[in-house]
Amino acid sequence: MEEILKYFPDLTPLQISQFEKLEEVYTEWNAKINVISRKDIQELYTKHVLHSLGIAKVMEFLPGAKIMDVGTGGGFPGIPLAILYPETQFYLIDIIAKKIRVVNEVIQALELKNVVAEQKRAETVDEKFDFIVSRAVTNMSDFVKWIRHKTAKENKHEFENGILYLKGGDLTEELKDFPKAVEFDLTNIFDNEFFETKKVVYLPLKYKG
Ligand SMILES: C[S@@+](CC[C@H](N)C(=O)[O-])C[C@H]1O[C@@H](n2cnc3c(N)ncnc32)[C@H](O)[C@@H]1O
């Protein structure tokens, strides 16, 4: 938890207590329904919470903005971002019902009012969002096919609406068809070897239709 405060020192007492509660809730629910590897739960704050918050070092979500987390699994990156941005609306989806069950338990335990989690396939979502966030779901080509036309036409943020995807390693090949993609290196932001090759990929994808 100290790691979170080191990089996000302006958290309110409510946000601090919500972040602290994550360990207890995930430990309890992971024992019943495995959504995070057992080893990772010991490093929950670095590998899941801080990694998710890497997106917040690239983009500050505005009050009233709508964000979708595609393939949220146990709630990453959506849950940590929803704690950090309580005035922003988050929609978390995954095709696996038991993962959404855990996410809903976390939402209830933390009394998060700005998050809705549903069992849903990305391709079937029929809404528009300012940004679509994700981690470890699929390659960029498939992802763009799934969510094309799901970013809002109207722009609220400094950057054009689009995708913020947490990815690792050499992305040259994967991003070759996306010349507008920008890689933000988390190595330069978080001083921990876990972030060595980790990046936030921003791809502007405003719906023009
Ligand atoms: C490797 S997990 C990553 C979970 C989470 N984002 C994380 O980083 O901890 C990938 C998740 O994507 C979900 N998924 C795969 N295809 C999907 C689709 N078309 N729509 C929604 N979720 C999908 C899977 O069910 C799985 O939970």
Alpha helices in the chain (DSSP H): 2-7, 13-32, 38-41, 51-53, 78-84, 97-110, 140-147
Query: What is the assigned CATH class of domain 1-204?
Result: alpha beta
Q: Three-class SS of residue 29?
A: helix
Q: Provide mean pLDDT across the span 83-97.
A: 98
Whole-angstrom distance, CA of residue 177 vs CA of residue 162? 16
Query: What is the pLDDT, as a whole number, of residue 72?
Result: 98
Q: Is 135 annotated to bind ligand?
A: yes
CB 148 within 8 Å of CB 205? yes
Q: Can you state the angle between helices 97-110 and 13-32, rounded to 10 degrees? A: 150
- Tell me, using a 6 A CB cutoff, whether residue 135 lines ligand 1: yes
Ligand 1 centroid distance, CA of 74 (Å):
9
What local confidence, expressed as pLDDT, does residue 161 receive?
96
Each residue of 55-86: pLDDT tens digit?
A: 999 999 999 999 999 999 999 999 999 999 99
Cα 75 from Cα 137, distance rounded (Å): 13
Indicate if ipTM > 0.90.
Answer: yes
Position 208 pLDDT exceeds 80: no
- CA of 71 from ligand 1 middle (Å) equals 3
- Ligand 1 contact via 66 beta carbon (within 6 Å): no
Question: Hunting for tokens 């996000």 — which residue is that?
Answer: 8
Q: Find the mean pLDDT for residues 140-150.
A: 95
- Please state whether the predicted TM-score (pTM) of the whole model is above 0.90: yes
pLDDT tens-digit profile of 101-130? 999 999 999 999 999 999 999 999 999 999
Q: Do the Cβ atoms of 116 and 91 come closer than 8 Å?
A: yes
User: Residue 139: in which H helix or E strand, if any?
Assistant: none
The full set of domain ranges for the chain reads 1-204
Instruction: State in Å: Cα 12 to ligand 1 middle.
Output: 30
**Quick one: average pLDDT of 136-141?**
96
Looking from the CA of residue 120, the nearest atom of ligand 1 is: 21
For the cut 70, the answer to whether the pLDDT of residue 209 exceeds it is no
Distance (Å) from CA 13 to ligand 1 centroid: 31
